[in-house]
Amino acid sequence: MSSAPPVFISAADVERLLPRASLLLPGLEAALSNFSAGPAGGVEQPLRAVLRVRPYRGFLGVMPAYSAADDALSTKLVTFYEPRGDSAAPSHQATVLLFDPRCGALRAVLDGAVITAKRTAAVSAIATKLLMPRPAAVLCILGAGVQARSHYEAFTELFDFTEVRLWNRTEQRALQLASSVGGAVRVCGTVRDAVCGADVIVTVTMATAPILFGEWVKPGAHINGKLLTETAPGLLMENMRPLVAGDAVQSVGASRPDWRELDDALMKSSVLVVDSREAALAESGDVILSGAEIFAELGELLKGTKPAQPEKTTVFKSLGMAVEDTVAAKFVYDAWSAGN
C-alpha cells in the first residue's frame, strides 16, 4: 500500500474536473437510493456533529460517510456563519478529506465549497425531476448566493423552463447574479411576486424565519400539475394560477432546528420529502417546528417504494448528506487520478 502524501485539489481544479453538477446525477441517485435502503444499501452515515462557535454566530459541521457501492470514505468539514455585514468571508467554507477505505490512508484534501455547491444543486435537481408538475414552465429562486447560482446553472441545463425569476433580500445582489448568468432572469421585488404562478421554487437563503407562506397557495385542487380553482358553483376552470406558491418547492436553507424558510401552512399542506428522516427530525426547523409529517425520503422515491406524486404540491427539504460529498469527492479524485 503506497504511503504517498495526500494530494491537494483546489477549488479551481474541482471546478475544472467537475464542470457541471449534472455529471454527479447517476452517482448521487444511486447513493440516495442506497442510503434509504438501510444497512443493505451499504451507506454508513451518522448524523453530522454540529458545534456552535457561539461568540461569532457560527457553526462547524463534521460529516463522515462510507459508501460500499462506491468503495469511498470521506469526511467533510464545513463551517457556516450567519450573515455579518462586516465580513467578506463566504458564509460557507468546506474541505473534504478522502481516504483509502482499504487501509485508512488519507488520499486527498479537496476544496469543499465547489463540491457543496454542485452536489446540493444536483440533489435538488433529482428531487425536482421526480416532483415537479408536468409541464413546468416557471422556475423561481429565492436567494442570490452561492447555492442560488449553482441551482440556476443546474436547473437551466437540465430542465426547459421558459421563465426564471429571482428574489433576494437585498435586490442589488439579485441584480448582480441575474446579470452574470448569461440567461434571461426576471428580478422580482417581493417574494410574493416571484412565486406567483411558479411551478418550481428553490429556497436557498440564510433566513431564520419563514420567507415563503402557505397563504400564497390559492385553495384549489391540483390536477396533473395545473391548479384548478372553483370559480362558480360546480364550475372548475383552469385559472392563471395567480398566487400558487409552486407545485414543487426545493427548500435548501434553514438547516438548524430553530431556523425556518417555510411557514407551517405550506409545510403541512404539502407532500413532504426529505433527504434523511433522521437529519430532518434533528436539524430542520421547518420540519420540527411545523410538526409536518414526512412522507418519504428522496431515496425511497428513487427506489419506487414510495410514489412521487408530482400532481400534488410538494416540498423537498434538503439538509445535505455526507454521502453526497463522498460521491462528489470520489468523482473529482478519480478524474484527477486519470489525469483529466
With beta carbons less than 8 A apart as the criterion, state whether 319 and 63 touch: no
Residue 45 is a binding residue for ligand NAD (CB under 6 A): no
- Residue number, 108 or 142, with CB nearest to ligand NAD: 142
- Residue nearest to ligand NAD as judged by C-beta position: 145
- Residue number, 255 or 290, with CB nearest to ligand YCP: 255
Q: Given the C-alpha cell 423561481, which residue does it identify? A: 140
- Select from 200, 211, 292, 329 the one that contacts ligand NAD (CB under 6 A): 211
What's the min distance (Å) between Cβ of 191 and ligand NAD?
A: 9
Q: Which helix (H) or strand (E) holds 87?
A: none
Please say whether the dihedral angle defined by the alpha carbons of residues 30, 31, 36 and 40, taken in this order, is positive or negative.
Answer: positive
The footprint of ligand NAD on residues 317-336 (CB under 6 A) is: 318-320
The footprint of ligand NAD on residues 279-318 (CB under 6 A) is: 318
Please say whether the dihedral angle defined by the alpha carbons of residues 192, 194, 199 and 202, taken in this order, is positive or negative.
Answer: negative
What's the min distance (Å) between Cβ of 256 and ligand YCP?
A: 8
Residues whose CB falls within 8 Å of the CB of residue 177, separated by 6 or more in sequence, listed in order: 144, 148, 149, 152, 166, 168, 185
Contact residues for ligand YCP (CB under 6 A)?
61, 78, 80, 92, 116, 255, 319-320
Torsion angles phi and psi, residue 194, rounded to 5: -70, -40
Residue 207 is a binding residue for ligand NAD (CB under 6 A): yes
What's the min distance (Å) between Cβ of 219 and ligand NAD?
A: 27
Q: How many Cβ atoms sit within 10 Å of the Cβ of residue 28?
A: 24
168 binds, among ligand YCP, ligand NAD, none (CB under 5 to 8 A by kind): ligand NAD
Q: Which stretch binds ligand NAD (CB under 6 A): 20-28, 41-49, 202-210, 241-249?
A: 202-210
Task: Write out the E strands in the chain.
Answer: 7-9, 43-44, 49-53, 58-67, 72-81, 92-99, 106-111, 138-142, 163-167, 186-187, 200-203, 221-223, 226-232, 235-238, 248-251, 271-274, 294-297, 314-317
- Residue number, 7 or 294, with CB nearest to ligand NAD: 294
Residue 252 is a binding residue for ligand NAD (CB under 6 A): yes
Task: Write out the E strands in 1-104.
Answer: 7-9, 43-44, 49-53, 58-67, 72-81, 92-99
Lay out the site mask for ligand NAD across 108-147 (x = CB under 6 A, - = otherwise). Answer: --------x---x----------------------xxxxx
- Residue number, 128 or 318, with CB nearest to ligand NAD: 318
61 binds, among ligand YCP, ligand NAD, none (CB under 5 to 8 A by kind): ligand YCP
Distance CA 271, CA 48 (A): 25
- Residue number, 227 or 328, with CB nearest to ligand NAD: 328
Q: Given the C-alpha cell 451518522, which residue does it identify? A: 46
- Residue number, 94 or 138, with CB nearest to ligand NAD: 94
Torsion angles phi and psi, residue 23, rounded to 5: -65, -20
Distance CA 273, CA 250 (A): 10
- Select from 36, 45, 79, 255 the one that contacts ligand NAD (CB under 6 A): 255
Half-sphere exposure of 193 (CA within 13 A, CB side): 9
91 binds, among ligand YCP, ligand NAD, none (CB under 5 to 8 A by kind): ligand NAD
With beta carbons less than 8 A apart as the criterion, state whether 163 and 139 touch: yes
Residue 274 is a binding residue for ligand NAD (CB under 6 A): no
173 binds, among ligand YCP, ligand NAD, none (CB under 5 to 8 A by kind): ligand NAD
With beta carbons less than 8 A apart as the criterion, state whether 44 and 65 touch: yes
Chain positions contacting ligand NAD, by CB under 6 A: 80, 83, 91-92, 116, 120, 143-148, 168-170, 173, 204-208, 211, 252-253, 255, 318-320
